[in-house]
């Protein structure tokens, strides 16, 4: 498998890798996973170091680049370097980029930003409608209805989704626990997951170790797992009983949670309908604080 032409941007390459992942050789699949999971290392590493970290021969990296239409590995590497030049790695630098943006100096800067975020999220929501399958929603609903208890896990940026999901589930009379890891007790809280329970995790790149550890515990315990993540090559995608891939909007290097929130709301209302609970008997489901 070889592409006729190479991707012009990293996002384009990532989509192409995800689409062609299943037809790659096992060695090239190892490279694909490393490329998607470690973009910074790809941007700055040498062929020898990257090959060692990806557990492949250096020539495999070159074959991977050729498979996606690049003349060589360094040609592909430029996409990762360019991406880093355009993005800021932390919030301080993101804020600095916004402060340096002269287009935001006029009196209408707030409205302009609101328009940018609104439009980007509108596009992301349109994509969400076409990417989520009814069969996956049905399967997730059935898993959650049959579970004795539901445990919801997420950290850092994904945590607000987990918190809101636990709030919704408790308002439709489902026994739900938020694994918030307070006091650093992620491991201890994972042990609360019993045999007939279900686990929901929300995880986005760079995929927190705490979330992966909770999933590994649930797998060993035989629990069904519902995953909300941002890539089919997420380390938890192939471990999930049901996996929802959500592509969020990104403006000025700030990623939204709008699409994921919308999806968990839809799943919650599906459950409410199945359980014959309406907003007239549980007003907090729709309008609670």
Which of these ranges, 1-15, 208-222, 235-249, has the smallest mean pLDDT?
Answer: 1-15
Range of the domain at 41: 10-86
Rounded CA gap, 136 and 142, in Å? Answer: 10
Query: Half-sphere exposure of residue 207, counting CA atoms within 13 Å on the CB side?
Result: 18
Q: Indicate the number of domains in the chain.
A: 2
Average per-residue pLDDT in the chain? Answer: 84
Rounded CA gap, 102 and 188, in Å? Answer: 49
Q: Which two tokens stand for residue 121?
A: 């999220």
- Cβ atoms of 263 and 137 within 8 Å: the answer is no
Q: What is the mean pLDDT of residues 220-233?
A: 89
Which of these ranges, 11-20, 105-114, 194-203, has the smallest mean pLDDT?
Answer: 105-114
- Cβ atoms of 224 and 147 within 8 Å: the answer is yes
Rounded CA gap, 240 and 87, in Å? Answer: 31
C-alpha torsion angle, residues 189, 246, 233, 218 (rounded to 10): 20
Query: Do residues 172 and 255 both lie within one domain?
Result: yes
Which of these ranges, 4-13, 33-42, 96-105, has the smallest mean pLDDT?
Answer: 96-105
Domain termination residue (choose one: 86, 113, 147):
86
The angle subtended at Cα 198 by Cα 196 and Cα 202, nearest 5°, is 165
The domain spanning residue 235 has which CATH number? Answer: 3.40.50.10490
More confident residue, 258 or 5: 258
Domain termination residue (choose one: 67, 86, 105):
86
* Backbone φ, ψ for residue 63 (5° rounding): -60, -35
pLDDT at residue 98, rounded to an integer: 58
Query: Do residues 45 and 160 both lie within one domain?
Result: no
């Amino acid at each position: 498998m070889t592409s006729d032409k190479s991707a012009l941007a990293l996002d384009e390459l990532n989509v192409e890798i995800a689409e062609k992942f299943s037809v790659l050789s096992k060695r090239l699949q190892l490279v694909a996973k490393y490329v998607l999971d470690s973009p910074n290392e790809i941007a700055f590493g040498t062929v020898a170091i990257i090959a060692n970290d990806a557990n492949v021969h250096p020539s495999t990296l070159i074959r991977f680049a050729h498979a996606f239409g690049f003349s060589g590995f360094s040609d592909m590497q430029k996409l990762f370097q360019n991406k880093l030049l355009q993005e800021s790695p932390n919030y301080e630098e993101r804020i600095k980029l916004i402060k340096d943006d002269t287009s935001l100096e006029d009196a209408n800067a707030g409205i302009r930003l609101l328009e940018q975020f609104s439009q980007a999220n509108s596009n992301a929501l349109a994509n969400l409608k076409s990417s989520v399958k009814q069969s996956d929603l049905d399967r997730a609903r059935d898993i959650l209805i049959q579970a004795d208890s539901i445990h919801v896990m997420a950290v850092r940026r994904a945590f607000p989704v987990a918190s809101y999901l636990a709030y919704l589930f408790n308002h439709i009379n489902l026994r739900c626990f938020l694994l918030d890891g307070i006091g650093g007790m992620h491991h201890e809280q994972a042990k609360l997951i019993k045999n007939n329970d279900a686990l929901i995790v929300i995880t986005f790149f760079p995929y927190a170790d705490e979330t992966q550890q909770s999933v590994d515990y649930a797998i060993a315990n035989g629990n069904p797992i519902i995953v909300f993540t941002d890539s089919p090559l997420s380390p938890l995608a192939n471990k999930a009983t049901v996996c929802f891939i959500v592509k969020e909007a990104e403006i000025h290097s700030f990623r939204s949670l709008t699409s994921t929130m919308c999806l968990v709301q839809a799943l919650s209302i599906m459950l409410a309908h199945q359980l014959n609970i309406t907003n007239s008997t549980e007003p907090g489901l729709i309008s609670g604080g």
